[in-house]
Structure 1
């Protein structure tokens, strides 16, 4: 069963993913994202694979035709690092981490294709945008997906619940 975490921006989805990466003793592959900050201002997002590769996902400083708000998305870099990390994890890992399935990532057709392949394994732990484009809604409505909303009331207690679900597979 795939587990997808949703919730409003900044609620703690990525924090929960990072805690699960550290606490669940299954072989894992994939990636998570982190904010890039200059002082108190967020200026972009980096992508970090579980085997240590890092790239820029989006930034106010890069040139790209792909845009979400003030950020330009580096689709080529994302495909070389993020999509490849998922592709590599599918045949070899017990758990595939994808943080996030959202607007920036969906500019890549290769990403949409590899996400579908990963979900077909039933071994995905991912974050997903709360609102939805048609692809996002399609994923949320899959029968092999358990969708959990992260909020202020449950974000500290979800860790144990998700750990148990992942280890029960």
Structure 2
């Protein structure tokens, strides 16, 4: 792998489709014979309304990490976050991705996830590694995330209603080409 592998942060307004882009990207990479690894965060909906969030290892286990009815844990909006449960899924998934994946996927880097110092440490290690990495990052300011976004090796791509349908294909093509080039 090249030391200059892409580090792409997909950012954009809430609910613009960042996770949808990552889901499609992951499928495109698999179709190309590559192994994506990492985590995906998804909404939990009940009666058409968002009530919580899960974190899932790509092709692995999932866990509910935040819910509006919980009363313990750090609060983000109307949700309380179970940082320990998040770490039980995310940390092994990211370690496995670092050891075995062709492309590391981190969906999402947001306020909920940033409550975990261990996650932040793991993310910094991944960014120092030669692995290509694609992450979704909240648009709203956050001191730690702002520092990550400002790194010279991070390419920020804004997901919008006009580009979200073609973005996964473009990012997949770039990653596939990058991985096909010898170091």
Unaligned runs of 5+ in 1: none
Structure-2 residue corresponding to 1:155: 164
Question: Does 2:145 align with 1:136?
Answer: yes
For 2:156 and 2:98, locate their aligned partners in 1 and report how far apart those are by CA, in whole Å: 21
- Correspondence 1:41-80 to 2 at 5 A: 41-80=49-88
Cα deviation per residue 1:8-58 (whole Å; 9 max; x = unaligned)? 000000000000111113212111011111101110011111132010121
- The Cα of 1:131 is off from its aligned counterpart by 2.0
Of the two, which has the highest radius of gyration? 2
Distance in 1 (alpha carbons) for counterparts of 2:137 and 2:72: 23
Q: Is the 8 A contact 2:81 2:112 kept in 1?
A: yes
1:2 aligns with 2:11: no
Q: TM-score, length-normalised on structure 2?
A: 0.88
Give the whole-Å Cα distance in 2 for the aligned partners of 1:30 and 1:47: 10
CA distance in structure 1 between the aligned counterparts of 2:100 and 2:166, rounded to whole angstroms? 30
The superposition leaves residues 108-138 of structure 1 with CA deviations (integer Å, 9 ceiling, x where unpaired) of 0001000111112242111001122121111
Runs of 4+ in structure 1 over 6 Å off? none
Q: Does 1:115 align with 2:123?
A: yes
Q: Quote the offset at 1:160 in angstroms.
A: 2.1
Report whether the alignment pairs 1:12 with 2:24: no
1:127 corresponds in structure 2 to: 136
Looking at structure 2, the residues matched to 9 and 3 of structure 1 have their Cα atoms a distance apart, in angstroms, of 18
Q: Tell me the residue number matched to 1:83.
A: 91
Measured after TM superposition, the shift of residue 87 of structure 1 is 1.7
**CA RMSD of superposed structures (Å):** 1.2
Task: Tell me the number of residue pairs that the alignment of Structure 1 and Structure 2 aligns.
Answer: 169
Structure having the larger proportion of residues in helix: 2
